[in-house]
Amino acid sequence: MSTQPTLDEYRDDYEYADLERNDGVLEVTLNTDGDELVWGFEPHHELGYLFAEIRADTENEVVIITGAGENFIAEEDLANKVPDPQDWLQVIEDAKRLAYNQLEIPAPMIAAVNGDALVHSEIALYCDIVLCAEDAHFQDKPHYNDGLVPGDGVQVIYPMLLGINRGRYFLLTGEKLSAQEAKDLGLVAEVMPREELLPRAHELADTLLERAPMTVRLTREAILKELKARTRDNLVHGLALEGLAAMDDWPAFEA
């Protein structure tokens, strides 16, 4: 019989996330060496496993996810790492693990977007409550602008949140939205000074915890049904298209 993981068992197992939990509220800070996270194949591989352990640990009653430093995720380093078709199979598996395990976390999730969310911003937008620093921006920086098909979740979440036509415009033009525009268009719930983000996230977490645990978890299950279904219907197809185009023309990414 398997046993659920405890935070003490997995807290220090992840290079790209710092974990702290108080009174059932798990705070996940994405980072690279203590500063803002630089996206790459390594965090792409690792974070899906982290989400699986968060999912399995029932002591996590609310999850807050934020970034270290000045940005949520604004840069990536994929230079000189052109994947071949066999490598892309691993990319697909990592992307499935990342998206599916985040969406299967039973605890409500709050994103405290502390700065620009330009790379894998779906991690923030998959959360139930999205708070945003007033100087942050949202963009799908690494895909169509750089020659890649937007296929690893952004092609699902942005048309859902912005509407089909507005979402297609966003993805095809590389549009960058300010925090206020993101709020006006329905991507985020609240915009505030950066120093107020985490206190507000914890205030909301405490409010969520006022309800019975089963009510909290089953409410998240109810309100995520459509997003889960669309993600499972479209994620692998999008990743396959992304990989096919990448084999033809892998962009010269800058770190």
Q: Which two tokens stand for residue 237?
A: 């197809």
Q: Which of 122, 134, 190, 254 is catalytic?
A: 122
Cα–Cα–Cα angle for 72, 223, 185, rounded to 5 degrees: 50
pLDDT at 78: 79
CATH code assigned to 7-248: 3.90.226.10
Q: What is the 3-state secondary structure (H, E, C) of 114-162?
A: CCCECCCCHHHHCCCEEEEECCCEECCCCCHHHCCCCCCCHHHHHHHHH
Q: Would you say residue 246 has pLDDT above 90? A: no
Categorize the per-residue pLDDT at 12 as very low, low, confident or very high, splitting at 50, 70 and 90: very high
Task: Reply yes or no on whether 122 is catalytic.
Answer: yes
Domain residues of the chain, as ranges? 7-248
Average pLDDT over residues 184-200: 98
Q: Is the pTM of this model over 0.85?
A: yes
Percent of the chain predicted with pLDDT > 70: 96
Nearest to 15 by CA among 63, 60, 68: 68
Of residues 50 and 147, more confidence is placed in 50
pLDDT at 255: 43
pLDDT 10s digits, 44-84: 999 999 999 999 999 999 999 999 999 999 999 876 666 77
